[in-house]
């Protein structure tokens, strides 16, 4: 299988070779950085001068840049090699299928061939990219990190001898359990695609015999079967992360514990603080490389099943063969069927068509009569059905554009008037309250905007649900969705009002610490948020009217609170209250 698939690399051999070469360079750089960091920390601990620190910093910067360069190049080459490999693989599969007879196609089924050309090729492409990149990086990182950890930490490196086998054993059992499930899933994919294909091709037949419910149940059964197998496999593979986390943090705890004892007992002669830091870094690199290997095994588990299915197609021999002396040039356009018969399979007992005698002379006109899906329209019209769009053919219709503009105008007015409102507030407060009032207003606005974010999210999340049910002519569900939105908005607004009324000073302390300023801000915050319950009703109603396409009412609600009520009151109320 590997030999057959490798033949599809062809002109992308250069990128395939350069990817692991660049990856080796990146691994070497990444494993060198903790070693230099340990030397730098130990040198600082021993009282080195600034020149030594700058020298180490320069070395670390150069190595980090080299690692970045090698990583970027490996990613570039890997993407180009994997995409090219998938292109060649699809090319070979497509041309192989073109040579198939009906018997060959029936052996695989059309839906299965579609799955192999799409899903299976994508799985192989992802696995190929991981093999030339991550599959090189992970073992190299593992080997280099183990060598460096032994060099730096000496006896501490034996901690990995206990954690690595645990992780390896867990990965073995996970892959062993998940592989049969992935093999079964791809076969069920074929059944799912087959159900879709039958419904698309035989749409009129299904409707004529009123079999929609049966076809829906058949598709649901195939879909549920795929979901159940994938869910079971993913549950098994989900154990990978907790096992990995357990091994990582257990290793870090053990390294920190034993290293601290060694540093204290030896006075820093056997193991320094810098060595401890590099040991923790190497432990992360070792265990992360093992996690990468587990990801590779999972991907290869899926790709193994896909690879076998692809090789089955590439290895299939077509039952169509040219005669000894095939004719490649036709002297005229005449077509002659002289007592022709046709079978879908060589093993069939009887022919599907027999004794067909059909003669068409060159230049004659042929009328085609056939059932739905026999490609009559495609044959007759060909490329004339291509749709070409030109800008000069577009015309804007006011009855379509204006409702869309009005629906978008409501949230636009809400956002654009916010800055106008702040200018009015600040000018009035500066006149009657001075800088203290303006500073307090900044806090009030911040609390308001932050607290209203969940309310805005609720209303905008309910908008598509309400709009969908309104378009589907389901008024009961529209009323139900609006009622739920109104209850949630009122509940949140009431809870917010209660918090502000009880703990205004606590909210103000998030922004300032001056006691007198906090007292002033807390007093103002109660007044500013006194009617916040009403805002929940206003936002819920406004977004619902947008969802229902009632642009005028939505725009009126947007303008009512800020422009009609708030801005005039900002300038009128100070005239009546001191």
Which pLDDT value is given to residue 235?
Answer: 82
Overall average pLDDT of the 495-519 stretch: 83
If pLDDT is split at 50, 70 and 90, which confidence band does 118 have? Answer: confident
| Residue 263 main-chain phi, psi, to 5 deg | -65, -45
Query: Which of 288, 33, 290, 71 has the alpha carbon at shortest distance from 148?
Result: 33
If pLDDT is split at 50, 70 and 90, which confidence band does 355 have? Answer: confident
Which pLDDT value is given to residue 346?
Answer: 65
Q: What is the DSSP string of 173-239?
A: HHHHHHHHHHHHHHHHHHHHHHHHHHHHHTHHHHHHTT-HHHHHHHHHHHHHHHHHHHHHHHHHHTT
Overall average pLDDT of the 207-216 stretch: 80
Record the tokens describing residue 235, joined without a space: 């549950």
If pLDDT is split at 50, 70 and 90, which confidence band does 11 have? Answer: confident
Least confident segment among 271-285, 364-378, 555-569: 364-378
List, for residues 361-418, the tens digit of each pLDDT value: 877 776 767 665 554 554 444 333 334 445 555 566 666 667 667 666 666 666 666 6
Produce one character per residue of 216-235: b if its CB has 16 or more CB atoms within 10 Å, e if not: eebbeebeebbeebeeebee
d(CA 578, CA 97): 88
Which pLDDT value is given to residue 33?
Answer: 82
The most confident of the ranges 254-263, 518-527, 528-537 is 518-527
List, for residues 517-532, the tens digit of each pLDDT value: 888 888 888 888 887 7
Overall average pLDDT of the 114-137 stretch: 85
d(CA 90, CA 86): 6
If pLDDT is split at 50, 70 and 90, which confidence band does 31 have? Answer: confident
Q: What residues have CB less than 8 Å from 123, skipping those under 6 apart?
A: 299, 302, 303, 306
Which pLDDT value is given to residue 353?
Answer: 66
Which pLDDT value is given to residue 1?
Answer: 79
Alpha-carbon radius of gyration of the chain: 36
- What does pLDDT average to over the chain? 77
| Residue 342 main-chain phi, psi, to 5 deg | -140, 135
The SS3 of residue 336 is strand
pTM exceeds 0.95: no
Torsion-angle region of residue 267: left (phi > 0), alpha (psi -120 to 50) or beta?
Answer: left
d(CA 429, CA 440): 10
Q: What residues have CB less than 8 Å from 383, skipping those under 6 apart?
A: none
If pLDDT is split at 50, 70 and 90, which confidence band does 250 have? Answer: confident
Which pLDDT value is given to residue 176?
Answer: 78
| Residue 353 main-chain phi, psi, to 5 deg | -130, 140
If pLDDT is split at 50, 70 and 90, which confidence band does 270 have? Answer: low
CB neighbourhood size of 93 (10 A):
19
| Residue predicted with more confidence, 177 or 511 | 177
Distances (CA, A) of 562 to 238, 421, 569: 51, 7, 10
Query: Which of 454, 456, 523, 527 has the alpha carbon at shortest distance from 495?
Result: 454
Overall average pLDDT of the 493-507 stretch: 86
Which pLDDT value is given to residue 387?
Answer: 40
Least confident segment among 61-75, 113-127, 212-226, 534-548: 534-548
Which pLDDT value is given to residue 359?
Answer: 75
């Amino acid at each position: 299988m590997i030999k057959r698939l490798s033949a599809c690399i062809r002109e992308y051999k250069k990128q395939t070779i350069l990817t692991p070469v660049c990856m080796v360079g990146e691994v070497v750089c990444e494993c060198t950085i903790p070693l230099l960091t340990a030397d730098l920390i130990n040198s600082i601990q021993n009282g080195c001068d600034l020149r030594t620190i700058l020298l180490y910093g320069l070395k670390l910067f150069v190595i980090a840049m080299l690692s970045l360069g090698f990583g970027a190049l490996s990613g570039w080459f890997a993407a180009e090699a994997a995409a090219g490999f998938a292109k060649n693989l699809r090319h070979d599969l497509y041309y192989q299928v073109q040579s198939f007879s009906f018997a060959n196609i029936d052996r695989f089924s059309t839906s299965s061939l579609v799955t192999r050309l799409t899903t299976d090729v994508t799985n192989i492409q992802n696995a190929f990219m991981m093999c030339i990149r991550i599959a090189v990086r992970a073992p190299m990182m593992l080997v280099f990190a183990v060598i460096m950890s032994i060099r730096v930490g000496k006896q501490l490196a034996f901690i990995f001898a206990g954690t690595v086998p645990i992780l390896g054993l867990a990965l073995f059992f996970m892959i062993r359990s998940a592989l049969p499930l992935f093999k079964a899933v791809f076969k069920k994919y074929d059944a799912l695609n087959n159900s879709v294909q039958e419904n698309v091709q035989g749409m009129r037949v299904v409707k004529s015999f009123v079999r929609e419910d049966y076809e829906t149940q058949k598709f649901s059964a195939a879909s549920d079967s795929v979901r159940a197998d994938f869910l079971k496999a993913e549950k098994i593979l989900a154990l990978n992360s907790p096992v990995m986390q357990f091994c990582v943090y257990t290793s870090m705890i053990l390294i920190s514990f034993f290293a601290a004892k060694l540093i204290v007992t030896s006075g820093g002669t056997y193991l320094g603080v810098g060595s401890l830091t590099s040991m923790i870094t190497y432990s992360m690199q070792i265990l992360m490389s093992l996690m990468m290997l587990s990801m590779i095994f999972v991907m290869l588990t899926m790709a193994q099943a896909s690879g076998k299915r692809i090789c089955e197609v590439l290895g299939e021999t077509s039952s169509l063969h040219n005669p000894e002396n095939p004719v490649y040039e036709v002297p005229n356009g005449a077509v002659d069927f002289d007592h022709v018969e046709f079978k879908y399979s060589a093993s069939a007992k009887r022919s599907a068509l027999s004794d067909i005698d059909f003669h068409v002379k060159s230049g004659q006109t042929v009328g085609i009569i056939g059932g739905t899906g026999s490609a009559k329209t495609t044959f007759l019209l060909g490329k004339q059905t291509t749709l070409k769009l030109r800008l000069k053919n577009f015309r804007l219709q006011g009855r379509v554009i204006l409702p869309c503009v009005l629906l978008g105008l409501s949230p636009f007015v809400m956002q654009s008037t916010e800055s106008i409102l702040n200018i009015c507030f600040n000018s009035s407060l500066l006149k009657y309250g001075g800088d203290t009032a303006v500073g307090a207003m900044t806090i009030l606005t911040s609390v308001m905007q932050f607290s209203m974010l969940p309310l805005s999210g609720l209303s905008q999340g309910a908008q598509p649900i309400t709009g969908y049910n309104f378009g589907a002519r389901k008024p009961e569900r529209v009323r139900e969705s609006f009622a739920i939105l109104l209850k949630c908005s009122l509940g949140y607004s009431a809870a917010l009002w209660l918090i502000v009324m009880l703990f205004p000073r606590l909210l103000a302390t998030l922004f300032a610490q001056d006691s007198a300023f906090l007292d002033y801000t807390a007093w103002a915050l109660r007044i500013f948020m006194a009617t916040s319950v009403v805002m929940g009703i206003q936002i819920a109603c406004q977004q619902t009217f947008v969802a229902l396409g009632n642009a005028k009412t939505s725009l009126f609600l947007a303008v009512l609170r800020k422009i009609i009520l708030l801005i005039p009151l900002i300038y009128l109320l100070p005239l009546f209250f001191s």
